[in-house]
Amino acid sequence: MSYTLTEFLAHAVAMEQEAADRYLELADMMEAHRNDAVAELFRQMNRFSIMHRDSILEHAKPHALPRLNAWEYRWRSPPEVGGEEGFDYLLEPYNALRYARQNEVRAMKYYRSVAAEAQDEELRRMAGEFAAEEREHAQSLDEWIARTPRPSMTWDEDPESHEPID
Ligand code: ZN
């Protein structure tokens, strides 16, 4: 599927806004459970997402952006997460980090596919840059995951949560 520049910008804004919202939620959850280090990481990711959203909005100024469907940009929960249980599940820093990582990888793949199929030079360049940025986010989450204790309950059944980033 090939996107126009405005469709792409609308997606990118929505994805960054979604990431900002989810990271803020995750940060509050970690903080409530006294995991200040992971809370701080999520706050930082929240700030990056807001900065990125604002710079995309700057680019998007001359364009009227199309409206999107929520499923096109909302973060996906791990498969066994639903309702109250899901909330408990994500209180584990390890699971919260994996959840964030999965959605960063999803964003990276979206940007890569746009870059690969772009007809327009500016679109290809921007999508390529954004993909590289998401890859860095996934990588820093990987570093945190590597030094975070693994809880007994994880979503290892889901192949997407282990997806390599290269
Ligand atoms: Zn990101």
Contact indicator for 48, 137 with CB cutoff of 8 Å: yes
Contact indicator for 94, 149 with CB cutoff of 8 Å: yes
Question: If you measure from the C-alpha of residue 52 to the centroid of ligand 1, how many angstroms do you get, rounded to a whole number?
Answer: 9
Structure tokens at 164: 């390599």
Could you read off the pLDDT of 12-66 as tens digits, one per residue? 999 999 999 999 999 999 999 889 999 999 999 999 999 999 999 998 888 888 8
Question: If you measure from the C-alpha of residue 126 to the centroid of ligand 1, how many angstroms do you get, rounded to a whole number?
Answer: 14
DSSP-assigned states of every residue in 97-160: HHHHHHHHHHHHHHHHHHHHH--SHHHHHHHHHHHHHHHHHHHHHHHHHHTSPPPS---TT-GG
Structure tokens at 139: 């990588």
Question: If you measure from the C-alpha of residue 107 to the centroid of ligand 1, how many angstroms do you get, rounded to a whole number?
Answer: 7
Instruction: Give pLDDT, residue 64.
Output: 83
Residue 155 has pLDDT above 60, yes or no: no
Residue 10 has pLDDT above 80, yes or no: yes
Could you read off the pLDDT of 115-139 as tens digits, one per residue? 999 999 999 999 999 999 999 999 9
What rounded mean pLDDT belongs to the chain?
A: 86
Among 56-65, 77-86, 139-148, 151-160, name the most confident range.
Answer: 139-148
User: What domains lie within the chain, and their CATH numbers?
Assistant: 5-162 (1.20.1260.10)
Instruction: Give pLDDT, residue 111.
Output: 94
